[in-house]
Chain A
Amino acid sequence: MILPKAMEDLITEFMRFPGIGRKTAERYAMHVINNFSLETTETFGNAILNIKKQIHNCPNCGLITDRELCQVCEDDIRDESILMIVESSKDVFSIEKSGEFKGVYHVLNGVISPMDGKGPEDINLSTLWPRITDNRVKEVIIATSSTQEGETTALYINRVLKDVDILVSRIGYGVPVGLNLEYADDLTLSKAIENRKKL
């Protein structure tokens, strides 16, 4: 039997999500048909629409936000002399949850990986350099993951900063090799930050 076109369309859309196959997508579509009121459906649709309309990267640090500047950049109490460099917004959210870090962030939105066509110019580095040479920053903590790409990215940033008179350190200490910050628990995270190593 051929499914109604509207249902088929929704199934196709659900299947865009990672880890969702045809069967699950069908189940979700059925769920919408049977259990969503028109109001819920509208709220659901608008939520998806709004996320794309309102969310963008903070022009200062690269973190995703729905304001002009992100919460961290807008917050006057944050210590602007310590700047932590991370791969993605997800990392910021996990570190913020642990509440251990009072400095500011710079989100690269990627890592350097020539084999994936990603060079230094393809990640958010161009806005990083002026932030660092601006006199307020005294220490840079590089918190990219301990994968090969994360290491390369960290070493690259460190190399570019070698003649700039600031402290550059690396966390990853305590975070097992290959593990992303995202999966580290609060204790591991605060340990990692505490035990950062000078590069």
Chain B
Amino acid sequence: MKINNLELYNFRNYSKQEIVFGKGVNFLIGENGSGKTNLLEAIYFLSLAKSYKTNEVNLIKYNSRFSRIQSNVTVNDKLQKLKVIITEKGKKTLINDVEVKKLSNYIGAINVISFLPEDLTIIKGSPKDRRYFIDLMYGQIDRQYLKELTNYKILLKQRNELLKKLSDSNIQDFTLLDVITEQLADSADLIVNFRRNFISNANGYLKKMYRFLSDNNKSFVFEYKPSIEKDFESQFKSKYKNDLYLKTTSYGPHRDDYDFVIENVLAKDNASQGEQRIMVLALILAISEIVYEKYNERPIFLLDDVFSELDSVRQNKLIKYLTELEAQTIITTTGLENIEKTIITQSKVFKVQNNTIREESQNG
């Protein structure tokens, strides 16, 4: 899938901007604060109808009433026009100028995979960061997973409310708790299976990606650490006392975690900045292979400030890899001085300056 062009109207720092992307690697070069991340955010919003950064009203250019993002995209050789309008009251999503009211019918018209500097927190940050990242990535690929996840979250909320009530009122009838616990256990079983398959699938590609990008032979595994591994019903039921005391469900997929392991050592304890970046990149590339496996189309890569902390060898390796993959990629950076001219002959370069984006003459 490709984004052919993008038109922005009153989006963040852009008043009116059109940009025609190349089919391969696209570079956005500009100083700090020039609006590079804002452009990626627009594409992200076009894909997922939500922002990774903030409240939606912040996307509207200061002193304007609404924002519009519009784009012609090609998916499975079919041309489609996507449009999102953001107002203070809410947003509208349109495909080929027809409003799509149900967001779930709009999302997925194009798939993006993004790398943001914040994503590095998945290595050293909290389990919650890792769960969020995986759920976001996997949820985009597999609707069934997303549906089950929603179901699980509702059941969990129901159960926690019930635990509060039972514990506060000293009611000894656990019939309803049994029923909701069994429903939760069934859902947990499905979620853990989904995650296990997804992670094992990703690991199939991960080693290769990591080896290529890091240029070393260290082993790299992404490990799934479920809070409950099996026998969900009996596990949940054996913890009633504890759960009633804490007034919350203390174990289950909402407490799952993942580990990055290099040469049998936990990455969170000692990976360097550059190594962390390579791990996250390798994971993103592996996930994009799963998307390809499933849909026969590669998602669009949005890579924000990806070169920082990477030495020039690794920068070049990454660009070479993406170019050969023929995956459309949009990369922001403050400069291209480390990239060899020969590997970017098919790339497009854009300069971001004074709130406008302008294409540089080829290799200029």
A, B in one complex: yes
A residues in contact (CB < 8 Å) with B = 112-115, 119-120, 148, 151-152, 155-156, 159-160
Within 8 Å CB of A113, what residues of B? 158
Count of inter-chain pairs, beta carbons less than 8 A: 39
Within 8 Å CB of B179, what residues of A? 152, 155-156, 159
Shortest Cβ distance from residue A154 to the other chain B in the assembled complex, whole angstroms: 9
Shortest Cβ distance from residue B278 to the other chain A in the assembled complex, whole angstroms: 42
B175, A114: Cβ atoms closer than 8 Å: no
In the assembled complex, B75 has its CB within 8 A of some CB on chain A: no
Per DSSP, chain A at the interface is: helix
Within 8 Å CB of B180, what residues of A? 114, 152
In the assembled complex, B157 has its CB within 8 A of some CB on chain A: yes
Shortest Cβ distance from residue A179 to the other chain B in the assembled complex, whole angstroms: 15
Within 8 Å CB of B155, what residues of A? 148
Given A148-B151, A159-B175, A159-B178, is A114 in contact with B183 using a C-beta cutoff of 8 Å? no
Within 8 Å CB of B178, what residues of A? 159
A156 touches which of B154, B161, B175 (Cβ 8 Å): B175
Annotate B138-156 by CB proximity to A: 1 below 8 A, 0 otherwise.
0000000000000100110
B158, A148: Cβ atoms closer than 8 Å: yes
Within 8 Å CB of B158, what residues of A? 113-115, 148, 152
A112 touches which of B154, B157, B176 (Cβ 8 Å): B176
Given A114-B161, A114-B165, A119-B165, is A148 in contact with B175 using a C-beta cutoff of 8 Å? no
Q: How far is the CA of A128 from the CA of B155 in the complex (A)?
A: 25
Number of interface residues of B (CB under 8 A): 16
B residues in contact (CB < 8 Å) with A = 151, 154-155, 157-159, 161-162, 165, 175-176, 178-180, 182-183
Q: How far is the CA of A148 from the CA of B179 in the complex (A)?
A: 12
Q: How far is the CA of A16 from the CA of B162 in the complex (A)?
A: 32
Q: How far is the CA of A112 from the CA of B183 in the complex (A)?
A: 14
Shortest Cβ distance from residue B322 to the other chain A in the assembled complex, whole angstroms: 41
A120, B176: Cβ atoms closer than 8 Å: yes
Q: How far is the CA of A156 from the CA of B158 in the complex (A)?
A: 14
B154, A114: Cβ atoms closer than 8 Å: no
Shortest Cβ distance from residue A51 to the other chain B in the assembled complex, whole angstroms: 33
3 A-B pairs with least C-beta separation: A114-B161, A114-B162, A155-B179
- 14 new A-B contacts, CB < 8 A, other than A115-B161, A152-B158, A156-B179, are A112-B176, A113-B158, A114-B161, A114-B162, A114-B165, A114-B176, A119-B162, A119-B176, A120-B176, A148-B151, A152-B176, A152-B183, A156-B175, A159-B175
B162, A148: Cβ atoms closer than 8 Å: no
Q: How far is the CA of A191 from the CA of B148 in the complex (A)?
A: 27
Most A Cβ at <10 Å: residue of B175, B179, B183: B179
Shortest Cβ distance from residue A131 to the other chain B in the assembled complex, whole angstroms: 19
B165, A160: Cβ atoms closer than 8 Å: no
Within 8 Å CB of B182, what residues of A? 155
Within 8 Å CB of A155, what residues of B? 179, 182-183
**Chain B residue nearest in CB terms to A154:** B179
Given A114-B165, A148-B151, A148-B154, is A156 in contact with B183 using a C-beta cutoff of 8 Å? no
Q: How far is the CA of A15 from the CA of B213 in the complex (A)?
A: 62
Q: How far is the CA of A45 from the CA of B159 in the complex (A)?
A: 45
Q: How far is the CA of A148 from the CA of B156 in the complex (A)?
A: 11
Q: How far is the CA of A152 from the CA of B176 in the complex (A)?
A: 8
B183, A151: Cβ atoms closer than 8 Å: yes
Q: How far is the CA of A15 from the CA of B316 in the complex (A)?
A: 63
**Chain A residue nearest in CB terms to B169:** A119
Shortest Cβ distance from residue A17 to the other chain B in the assembled complex, whole angstroms: 21
**Chain B residue nearest in CB terms to A156:** B179
Q: Can you report 6 residue pairs joining A to B where beta carbons are below 8 Å apart?
A: A114-B158, A120-B176, A151-B183, A152-B179, A152-B180, A160-B175
Q: How far is the CA of A114 from the CA of B184 in the complex (A)?
A: 14
Within 8 Å CB of B176, what residues of A? 112, 114, 119-120, 152, 156
Shortest Cβ distance from residue A170 to the other chain B in the assembled complex, whole angstroms: 14
Q: How far is the CA of A30 from the CA of B154 in the complex (A)?
A: 44
Within 8 Å CB of B175, what residues of A? 120, 156, 159-160
